Structure 1
């Protein structure tokens, strides 16, 4: 429990999110792969994980800061998992791309990421295209695995929190 109440696990979470963002930008600009709108939404979700980590890191001994961090982490990772599932379904032919994949990002009026940071959040590709694979898995399938791992780690951390509260 002491480890959870330090900045290090939150820093590791923040670094993992930044590494995912850096990888996305490398794929886009280094390998010239065009991100679709669902890829862009996944980037936004990963930024949600990053900001949740910053909240937890700001006051790791505060149960309120940790719970807000956990909630943001869970929501962002869950949203990213949902998007990865939807995109994987499109690429595997289970879902029609034209029904679920828009050409333009539709961020809320108060968070126009595609206008504020178009180099990062402007979609330029199509959802059904498989532009990259590693070990036979496309990018959304890798994101699905990564987000499942994120949610498993979150579950372990929450179980430690709960066990500590119940025994303490």
Structure 2
């Protein structure tokens, strides 16, 4: 099917197309690929190339992105299996919402740590060392998973929250993480709707046949 044909079909009946799309593998590979890209960008570009050590919130955000990858892989086992789809979507929504919350917290810490009172002030002075006070070198992952012990390079926090000076187009890493998670939400919401529509429709058909 060409892109033009797909768009025309989608425009004519978007609900049906969403229901069909969420049962195919390509869209879930896109979700997995996007999360893997974010993880690899954090490790190879920021941590290795720019030598920016991850903070406590940074490793939590990485954890949420790994959860998105796992959620996608669960769904990819069989996109038409309702149990796998439910488990995958549940994990994906948890990871996206929690990742958005961690990014939002990191954004506020970064803004506070870089607040400018006057040109002569010391770095972090205006925030009362907000970055150091907000971070811990002993992370607490969900389910008490010792990820910092299993994979210390990826999940052991060695930097302070908010102390990075990296920016692109006036936005820092926390801003871009917020944008990424918002995109995940926007993309996952219609797919979740498509699955629920298919699930409810199949149950109604089963009830009719049973009668």
Shorter-chain TM-score above 0.5: yes
* TM-align CA RMSD: 2.0
Q: Quick one: which of 138, 156, 170 aligns to 1:122? A: 156
Q: In structure 1, which of residues 11, 14, 19 is the aligned counterpart of residue 29 of structure 2?
A: 11
Deviation (angstroms), 1:33: 1.1
1:34-79 residue CA offsets vs partner (Å, 9 max, x unmatched): 1111001100110000000010001111111111111110000111
Preserved CA contact (<8 Å) 1:17 1:47? yes
* Aligned: 1:21 with 2:39: yes
Say if 2:131 and 2:162, in contact at 8 Å, map to a contact too: yes
Matches within 5 A, 1:1-168: 1-26=19-44, 27-93=46-112, 96-107=130-141, 111-165=145-199
Question: C-alpha distance in 2, partners of 1:157/1:97?
Answer: 38
Q: Report deviation, 1:122.
A: 1.2
**Cα offset, 1:165, TM superposition:** 4.5
Q: CA deviation at 1:166?
A: 5.2
Aligned match of 2:205: none
**In the TM superposition, what is the alpha-carbon distance from 1:103 to its structure 2 partner?**
2.7
Please report the TM-score for the alignment, with normalisation by the length of structure 2: 0.73
Matches of 1:41 and 1:165, distance apart in 2: 33
Alignment TM-score, normalising by the size of structure 1: 0.91
Alignment length, in residue pairs?
A: 168
Q: For the residues of structure 2 that align with 1:109 and 1:143, how far apart are their CA atoms?
A: 23
Residue 154 of structure 1 deviates from its aligned partner by: 1.2
Q: Post-superposition, which runs of at least 4 consecutive aligned residues in structure 1 deviate over 6 A?
A: none
Gapped regions of structure 2 (runs ≥ 5): 1-18, 114-126, 203-211
| Distance in 1 (alpha carbons) for counterparts of 2:148 and 2:92 | 22
Structure 1 contact 10–53 (Cα < 8 Å) conserved: yes
Q: Secondary structure at the match of 1:133?
A: coil
What is the distance in 2 between the residues matched to 1:86 and 1:132?
Answer: 17
Q: Aligned pair in 2 of structure 1 residues 72, 109: CA closer, same or farther (>3 Å)? A: closer
